[in-house]
Amino acid sequence: MRKRAGLVVLVVALAGVQESVAETMRVTINKTRLYQGDVLKIQVIKKSTAPFIVNFLNREYKSFQLGKDQTVLLGIHYQLKPGTYSLTGAYEAGPNFFLPIYYRITVKERFKPKKYFPPKRPPEVQREIQARTDEFQTVFDKGDLKPLFSEKFSWPLRKIYIPSDGDFGDDRCAGRRIKKVHCRYHTGTDFRAAFDEQRSKPEKVFAINFGRVVKRGYYPNTGNVLVIDHGAGIFSGYLHLSRFLVKEGDLVKRKQIIAVAGNTGTNSIHLHLFIRMNDGKTTVDPMKFLQLLTK
């Protein structure tokens, strides 16, 4: 609090001298009222490459060069408690001249908290599932802090069509749908991935941006899965693939063909895409992410 007050005073004191700098510089945010699962983009619009840092929910985010502007990308977890939160920071516009960054971010409810009771399984089966889930999570623990991309994102398929039950946040229920207690949120977007008449010919899958392949594996529920670390805490995951065309450790380019879609771990050919942000800790709505960042 004391630090922020200091910065404000500094800006006032130097505003007269540095007016020309201030005029050519602007901090922008894509929105301040948003929903759970949404994505925030904070930019300093200026012909400068100096990075800046913002704080949100006790976490620091360092900006990086995205296109022409220094940018911070951060995700609003789809289960973050609705409410108003502060986003603070400062941009060093010149020697001893800081432009304070302060926004009140209002998060509205889109996904009510859901209690999930896993279906009754023998303990050894449950343990095995838990062990595989934990192993998968470790992928997000050692992400690249530096961004591996510097331009906008792109779509994962040649054509984009989302079937009516493919949205992020739809109910996904284990076993019979009537057992509501076994339902949880769909934490990705399902894209149709076969466009021939019989819907039997799976499409090629593209990397949505530059990055490194950090996971290539098979899991009972996801089938064949690839995860790409894009750096800056951002990961994309591609599920139900029939063929892998890259391997773990490979650096991939934006729009590079990385796999062929399929129906492994599911019963129809589709691509389930997930997006994790904030060091892989935050699941966001992939459509919100792509609609914002493919422009």
Among residues 141, 145, 148, 142, the alpha carbon closest in space to that of 61 is found at 145
Extract the tokens encoding 123.
């303990």
CB nearer Zn ion, residue 82 or residue 163: 163
**To the nearest whole angstrom, how small is the minimum distance from the Cβ of residue 183 to Zn ion?**
14
Q: Check binding of 230 to Zn ion (CB under 5 A).
A: no
User: Least distance (Å) from Zn ion to the CB of residue 271?
Assistant: 9
Please name every residue paired with 197 in a beta bridge, in sequence order, or none if there are none. Answer: none
Q: How far is the CB of 3 from Zn ion (least distance, A)?
A: 44
Q: Rounded to whole angstroms, how far apart are CA atoms 29 and 37?
A: 17
152 or 186, CB closer to Zn ion? 186
Report the site for Zn ion in 135-194 (rule: CB under 5 A): 188, 190
Confirm or reject binding of residue 240 to Zn ion (CB under 5 A). Answer: no
Least separation in angstroms between CB 89 and Zn ion = 35
Q: Is 229 in the site for Zn ion (CB under 5 A)?
A: no
Q: Please, are residues 236 and 211 in contact by the beta-carbon 8 Å criterion?
A: yes
If binding is defined by CB under 5 A, does position 46 make contact with Zn ion? Answer: no
Whole-number Å distance between alpha carbons of 291 and 164: 18
| Of 46 and 272, CB closest to Zn ion | 272
Nearer residue to Zn ion within complex by CB, 77 or 272: 272
Cβ atoms of 156 and 273 within 8 Å: the answer is yes
- Return the number of other C-beta atoms located less than 10 Å from residue 213's C-beta: 19
Closest CA to 152 of 227, 38, 78, 230: 230
Interaction pattern, residues 256-275, with Zn ion; x per rule: CB under 5 A? ----------------x---
Taking CB under 5 A as the rule, does residue 285 contact Zn ion? Answer: no
- What the block records as the tokens of 26 is 């602007």
Binding interface with Zn ion (CB under 5 A): 188, 190, 272
